[in-house]
């Protein structure tokens, strides 16, 4: 779930991820607590599933996040690619980052 790309063995029961362990054949040979907690993260009701768009100015203490669809997101990026060149700007404005271990969302 991060750039480390550890090797894992995932257990799926009845179509649901239930356990994640280190792949003993992978050079790392271990995973961190976040990797172990992957089933809880995947099914958390608090998990972001879509990009979030700020609807209020940055000076407002309430950013007014609203969920948007990917096609709207891609249209926004396509309309102003310079604004999204910096990864931090993307996260500040749209509240979505790839990976659970990025630390800046
Ligand atoms: S989140 Fe942990 S287990 Fe997953 S790839 Fe990163 S370091 Fe490895």
Average pLDDT of the residues of the chain: 84
Kindly report the backbone phi and psi dihedral angles of residue 32, in degrees, each rounded to the nearest multiple of 5, phi listed first. -85, 180
Asked whether 73 and 79 are in contact (CB, 8 A), the reply is no
| pLDDT (0 to 100) of residue 6 | 94
The answer to pTM > 0.85 is no
Q: Are residues 63 and 31 in the same domain?
A: no
Atom of ligand 1 nearest to the CA of 32: 2
Pocket lining: 95 vs ligand 1, CB cutoff 6 Å: no
Pocket lining: 35 vs ligand 1, CB cutoff 6 Å: yes
Asked if residue 1 belongs to a domain, the reply is no
Asked if residue 32 belongs to a domain, the reply is yes
> Using the 8-state DSSP alphabet, how is residue 81 labeled?
G
| pLDDT (0 to 100) of residue 89 | 59
How many domains would you assign to the chain? 2
Query: Does 14 have pLDDT greater than 80?
Result: yes
Radius of gyration of the chain (CA): 17
Pocket lining: 101 vs ligand 1, CB cutoff 6 Å: yes
Asked if residue 24 belongs to a domain, the reply is yes
Give the span between the Cα atoms of 78 and 76, in whole angstroms: 5
- pLDDT band for position 28 (50/70/90)? confident
How many C-beta neighbours within 10 Å does residue 1 have?
Answer: 19
- How close is the Cα of 46 to the center of ligand 1, in Å? 20
- pLDDT band for position 100 (50/70/90)? very low
The domain of 19 spans 8-42
């Amino acid at each position: 779930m991060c750039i480390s790309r550890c090797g894992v063995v995932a257990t799926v029961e009845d179509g649901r991820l239930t356990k994640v362990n280190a792949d003993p054949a992978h050079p790392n040979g271990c995973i961190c607590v976040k990797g172990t907690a992957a089933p809880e993260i995947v099914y958390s009701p608090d998990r972001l599933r879509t990009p979030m768009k700020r609807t209020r100015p940055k000076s407002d203490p309430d950013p007014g996040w609203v969920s948007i669809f990917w096609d709207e997101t891609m249209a926004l990026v396509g309309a102003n690619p310079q604004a999204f060149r910096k990864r931090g700007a993307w996260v500040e404005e749209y509240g979505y980052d790839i990976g659970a271990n990025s630390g800046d969302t």
